[in-house]
Amino acid sequence: MKERISDRYILGNRYKKEFLKQMRMVIMITLGFTIAFTWRQTIFDLSQEVVHFFAKTASNGTLSILTSIFITLICLALILITSNFLKGNQKD
């Protein structure tokens, strides 16, 4: 009985497969976060130029707040479009 428990929960193939699956997931999430963090400043700078072109504000604080609002609205629009597109034809 001890061998069956050991094989099933400690040394079994299921454990090894699940561990590798979870390890791949952690690596993918970490790399995805790294990519997002790298592009964060670039996206903010480009959005800030667009907002500055339309708003013509001289204050850096106001420009930063307007840029953050602009990025938030764009992201919310993308979330809504994506969720409606991926919802498909569901009958409730």
Q: SS in 3 state form for 13-69? A: HHHHHHHHHHHHHHHHHHHHHHHHHHHHHHHHHHHHHHHHHHHCCCCHHHHHHHHHH
Q: What is the pLDDT of residues 53-76, one digit of tens each?
A: 998 887 899 999 999 999 999 999
pLDDT value of position 90: 65
- Is residue 7 included in any domain, yes or no? yes
In this prediction, residue 3 has a pLDDT band, given cuts at 50, 70 and 90, of: low
- Is residue 29 included in any domain, yes or no? yes
pLDDT value of position 32: 94
pLDDT value of position 21: 92
Can you give the residue range of the structural domain that contains 18? 2-87
Whole-model pTM: value is 0.64
- Is residue 78 included in any domain, yes or no? yes
Total number of domains constituting the chain: 1
- Is residue 35 included in any domain, yes or no? yes
- Is residue 92 included in any domain, yes or no? no
